[in-house]
Chain A
Amino acid sequence: MTALDPRPIKTANLIVENVSCADCIGKIERTVNAMDGVTDARLNMSTRRLKVDWLTGTTDADAIADRVTALGYPAILFDTEKLQSSATREERRLLLAMAVAGFAAGNVMLLSVAVWAGAFSEMGPATRSLFHWISALIALPAIAFSCRPFLTSAWRSLKGGAVNMDVPISLAVLLSAGLSLQQTWAGGAHAYFDASVTLLFFLLVGRYLDHRMRAKARSAAEQLIALSSTHATRRTPNGEMSRVALETVMPGDVLVVAAGERIPADGTVRHGESDIDRSLVTGESVPEPAIPGIGVFAGTLNLTGALEIDVTAVGPDTFLAEVAGLMEAAEQGRAGYIRLADRAARIYAPVVHLTAAATFLLWWGLLGADWPVALITAISVLIITCPCALALAVPVVHIVASSLLFQRGILVKSGDALEKLAQADTVVFDKTGTLTLGKPIPTNLGDIAPDLVTLAASLAAYSRHPLSLALSNVHPGACLPVTDVQEFPGSGLEGTVDGRRVRLGRRSWCGVENENAPEASSLELWVSIADERAFRIEFEDQLRLDAAGTIYTLKAMGLEIEMLSGDRPVVAGRIAAELGISAWHADMRPDEKLRHIQSLGQAGRKLLMVGDGLNDAPALAAAWVSMAPAQAADVSRTAADLVFQGETLFPVAYAVKTARTANRAVNQNFGFSLLYNLIAVPIAVAGFATPLVAAVAMSTSSLAVTLNALRLRMGKAPK
C-alpha cells in the first residue's frame, strides 16, 4: 500500500534509553507501528536507535518521541545528517576486506596442506607447481584487495617520516607474496601464499575489532552532541514571535523562554518572574529566583514561569562557550599520551627491519650463500616476526573489555580510556549529580502530621519546581481535590485544597519573615494553611544509593579519593563526612576546579575525574581520564572518556576494575608475543622457517592472544 501512496515518506532516528530486553523491542515497535501514518519502525538493539518511517503530514518526529517516552523509554530525536559519518563505510570496507582475506586464507590453506602432505608421499613437482599456481591465483587478487588498508596507512606514515606498525606488515605481506610468485615461477618447493594471506586475515580481524570499538565510542559521543538545542524564540519590536535558529540571534534581541526550556543565550531578565535551575553552571542544586534585571546564563533551565530576556552575549561570548574554551585548552594539555600499542610499534618495527637486514648480511656476507637464498631467509624473518599477535594484542582485549562495560551501561568513548583508567591512582568526584543524584528529597515528613503532608503534596503536584516535584513524588497516598491554583514564579503556589486556602513556597511567601524560624536554608519549602501557623519541609540532596560502598571499594583498590564541589561548604562538608572523604573542597568555580586538577596532575598524580555539570567540563577534559554520568550536561559527556548510565555509582569502581584486568591481559599478550618471537626468530634466522612452520607459528600465537582476551569474559560479574 505504501508503495502506491503518493505522499513521500519521512524518516527519523531516535535514541531510546533503557532498552534491555526482547519485551522492550516488542512493546516499542508495536506501539510506534500502530501510530497513524507510520509505515515502519525498527529498533536497533546494538546502537539503541529507533528508525521510523512515516507518511509526510500524518505525524511528526516529536510526537513519536513523546509516544515512546510515555512507554517508559526516554527517546530523543537526533539529526542523522550529523551522524552519517564515514565510519560506517570504513567499517564495511574492512569487513569486506576481512571476508575476502578469510576466503582466500581458507582455500590457500587447503591447497597448502595438500602440498605439505605431498612432501611425505609421491606428489610430483608438476602437481605441486599446479597447486602453487592455483594458490597464486587466489592469493594475489585477495592480497591486492585486502591489503589496501595497511598499504595506505603505511604510506601515510612513511610520507610523514615515521614508521608505524603497518610498515612491517605491508612489507611482510608484499614481499612474501612477491617471493612466493618468484618461487612458483621457478618451480621451487616453497611458496608462502598461505602465510601471507593468513597473516593478512588475522591482522584484518584485529583492525576490524579496533575500528568497531572506536566507531561505537564515537557514535556514542556523536549522539550526545546531537542533542543540544539549536533554536530560540525571538520577539520582534512590533510584538511578533518567531522561532529562529540560534546562530541568527544577536545581542540586543529579545528572546522568550517558556517554562521548562533551556535558556539559549546569556542575558538579563527583561520581564517575567521564574526560578532558574543553574545546576549545570554552578553545581548548586537549588533553583534561584529570576526577576527583571537579573542576569541569566545560556544552558541554564527556566523552571516555573515564562521569561523575556535581553540578549547580552551569544555564541562564542557566552559563559557556556567560555567553559568550552577552557575545556579545549585543557584537552590540548594532555594530547601527548601515546597508546601502548603505538609505543610497542615504535620499538618493534625498527627491530624487525634490522633483524631482517642482519639476516640477509649474515647469509650473504658471512655464510657465503647466493643472494637469492639470503633474500629468501631475510624475507622469512620478516614474515615470521610480523607483529600479528602484537597487532591483535590490544584490540582484542579492549573490545572484550568494552563490551563487558557496555553490558553494564558504561560507554567507553575514547580509545585510550581503558589504558589510562588502569593507571589512575586518585579519583576526584564532583558532588552534585555525581555523588548525589542531584534530586532533593524531603527529610522531615515523619515529624509533620500526615494530613498536613497530604495537603501540601496535593498542591505541590501543580508545580514544576524541583522541590514541589520531589514532594509530590514521595507522597504515597491519594491527593485531595485542588482548585484555584495560581503559581507565582519566584515565590510559590497558592490554591484551595479541601476547602482551605494553602500557600506553598518560599519563607517570605508564607509570611514567616519575622518569626523565630530555624536557620535559613535554601533546601526548604514552607507551607501555610489558612490562618494556621506555617510549617517547614526540609529537603536534602539524595546520595546515590551505593555512593558510600563505592567509595569504600575504590579506597580498598588503593585509590585516593577527593571531592570538589561548587556547593556551599556546609553541605559539601556534611556529604564528605558521610562518605568518609577526608580531602574535599567547596565553593569552587569551573576555573578553580580546573586549576586544582592541573596542579594535582603536575604533582604526578594520575587523576580519574568523575563529574557531571557544565562546571566540571574543563576539569573532565584536563584530568588524566574522566567519567560522567549519562544525565550529565552535553558538554561534560563530550569531555569525558567514559559515560555511565543508571542511578548507582558502582560503574566507577567496576570500570576501574575491568580496566585493570584488561591491562593485565594486554601485558600478558605482549609477553606472549615476545616469547613467540624469541622462539620463532632464531628458527627463521637459521633458515628453518618453512611455510608450514610460519603458518603454524603465526596462527597459534594469534589464537593464544585472542583466547587470553576472551578469558576476561569468564571473570565473575559483580552484582
Chain B
Amino acid sequence: MTILGLLIPIALALGFIGLIAFVWALRNGQFEDPDGASMRVLLDDDIDTGKR
C-alpha cells in the first residue's frame, strides 16, 4: 500500500497540471472566438501582418 504514497500525488499533480493549463488558456483568450478558430484552420496562408 506504500505505493499509494507515490501514486496519489502523481494523480493529483496530473489533474492539477490540467487545471493550470485550462486557467492559462482562459487567461490567454483561447476561448474568445471558438467559431473563428474552426474557420481559420482553413486559411491557406498564415496572415502576414508584416509589421510585427
Interface residues of chain A, those whose CB is within 8 Å of chain B, are 1-2, 21-22, 25-26, 29-30, 33-34, 38-41, 43-47, 92, 95-96, 99-100, 103, 106-107, 110-111, 127, 130, 134, 138
Contacts and interface: CB of A to CB of B under 8 A. Distances in A.
B31 A95 contact: yes
A2 B52 CA distance: 7
Contact of B47 (A29, A47, A111, A134): A29
B43 interface: yes
- By secondary structure, the A interface counts as helix
Given A46-B34, A47-B33, A21 B39 contact: yes
Contacts of B8: 111, 134
Contacts of B32: 44, 46
A250 B39 CA distance: 50
Interface string B18-52: 11001100100001111110011111010111111
B15 A22 contact: no
Contacts, number: 74
A296 to B, nearest CB: 43
B6 interface: no
B36 A43 contact: yes
A33 B36 contact: no
B49 A33 contact: yes
B21 to A, nearest CB: 10
Given A44-B36, A107-B12, A2 B26 contact: no
B33 A45 contact: yes
Given A46-B33, A96-B23, A25 B50 contact: no
Most A CB contacts (10 A, CB to CB) among B4, B18, B51 go to B51
Contact of B35 (A41, A45, A110): A45
A671 B1 CA distance: 47
B18 A103 contact: yes
Contacts of A38: 51
A44 B33 contact: yes
Interface residues of B, number: 30
B33 A99 contact: no
Contact of A95 (B26, B35, B51): B26
Given A39-B51, A40-B49, A46 B36 contact: yes
B19 to A, nearest CB: 4
A307 to B, nearest CB: 43
A45 B1 CA distance: 53
30 contacts: A2-B51, A22-B40, A25-B40, A25-B43, A26-B43, A33-B47, A33-B48, A33-B50, A40-B51, A40-B52, A44-B32, A44-B36, A45-B33, A45-B35, A45-B36, A45-B39, A47-B33, A95-B31, A96-B26, A99-B22, A99-B23, A103-B16, A103-B18, A103-B19, A107-B12, A107-B15, A110-B11, A111-B8, A130-B4, A138-B12
A138 B19 CA distance: 13
